[in-house]
Amino acid sequence: MLKLIAVVLCILVGMAAAELPSKKYLNLAAIKTMVAAAEAEAQKLHVEVTICIAEALKKGNVDVLAFPDFFPNQGGLPIQIDGQTVGAIAASGAKSEIDEAIAQAAIDALLKK
């Protein structure tokens, strides 16, 4: 009887663990990958920009992508992994379309990893 209870508990624990959502987040390695790609793209385009990786967007606060408190819309992009928004990255200092291209290069590098 004790063995049966132990087996049932193991199965239930295994099922519960399988149902836990996997939380996506940006760790230091992911941030370094994005920053390196953004810097490389900025150098390739011969511009100097400020790069910001914003965790505030994670909770759905899209205002962080808007000026004046943060970066202008076109320079900032949400970072989405498997449909989850885990943050945002923005570049500022060049033309808006160049800022956005730099941010997109960083996201592309992260997703290739």
Cβ pair 106, 41 in contact under 8 A: yes
Q: If you average pLDDT over residues 16-22, what whole number do you get?
A: 51
For the four alpha carbons of 63, 65, 67 and 69, in that order, the dihedral sign comes to: positive
Phi, psi for residue 27 in degrees, rounded to 5: -95, 180
pLDDT for 53-90, tens place per residue?
Answer: 887 666 666 666 555 555 445 778 889 888 888 888 88
User: What DSSP element (H or E) covers 39?
Assistant: helix 28-44
What is the CATH code for 24-112? 3.30.450.150
Q: Supply the pLDDT for residue 26.
A: 85
